Amino acid sequence: MLLIPAIVFVVVLLVLVNLSVANVGAATDLAETVRARIEQSQEIRLELREKIRSRVEERVATNQARMTERVQNRVRLLLGMTIARTEAVINRMNTLITRVDSRLEKQGVENSHLEEAQKLVTEAASTLEELKASVEVLVNSDNPREVWGVVKESFGSIKTSLVEAHRILVSIMEEIE
């Protein structure tokens, strides 16, 4: 009779060993499944990050292109208005020179300063024509700030020439009267 409890004990022990081996196997399978899911979710997360990053880069590029276009349009508009104003001043100065020359001819007076004023206005007009040609170069350049400095200097020289021509015309008018 001692043999039956010993056999039962051995059978129970074998069953427990088999169950624990089965549990270890199930636990290993469960761990592998969890690892696989974690890796899969990490891959999905990385893919989503890449998609989001590419969308953000596209938006940034689009916004920069839009801003570049806006800046270019604003620079074109500013230069167009400045060129138009400067052309109007040059036309007025030419008209004044013509009127003063006509008045001097009527009085029979020769004045060499008038030729100097005409020369200054002509130089300003030629500089302005050069600027008109370089507007698109300025607008489409990689670094418009550098080119803007050159354009600003050119407008400054035009203004200086026109102011000097105006002073000459004023001094001539003072001499006539």
**Number of domains the chain is built from:** 1
Query: What pLDDT, on a 0 to 100 scale, did the predictor assign at position 159?
Result: 92
- Average pLDDT, whole number, for the chain? 80
Q: Considering the domain boundaries, does residue 3 fall inside one?
A: no
Residue 169 near residue 121 (C-beta atoms within 8 A): no
Q: Considering the domain boundaries, does residue 87 fall inside one?
A: yes
* Tokens 């001097």 belong to residue: 104
Q: Considering the domain boundaries, does residue 158 fall inside one?
A: yes
Residue 2 half-sphere exposure toward CB, CA atoms < 13 A: 0
Q: Considering the domain boundaries, does residue 164 fall inside one?
A: yes
Overall average pLDDT of the 78-100 stretch: 91
Overall average pLDDT of the 76-98 stretch: 91
Q: Considering the domain boundaries, does residue 65 fall inside one?
A: yes
Q: Where are the alpha helices (DSSP H) in the chain?
A: 3-107, 112-140, 144-176
Q: Which of 66-80, 118-132, 154-168 has the lowest mean pLDDT?
A: 66-80
Q: Considering the domain boundaries, does residue 9 fall inside one?
A: no
Residue of higher predicted confidence among 99 and 109: 99
**CB atoms < 10 A from the CB of 147, how many?**
17
Q: Cβ neighbours of residue 172 under 8 Å, at least 6 residues apart?
A: 100, 104, 111, 113, 114, 117
Q: Considering the domain boundaries, does residue 122 fall inside one?
A: yes
Q: Considering the domain boundaries, does residue 129 fall inside one?
A: yes
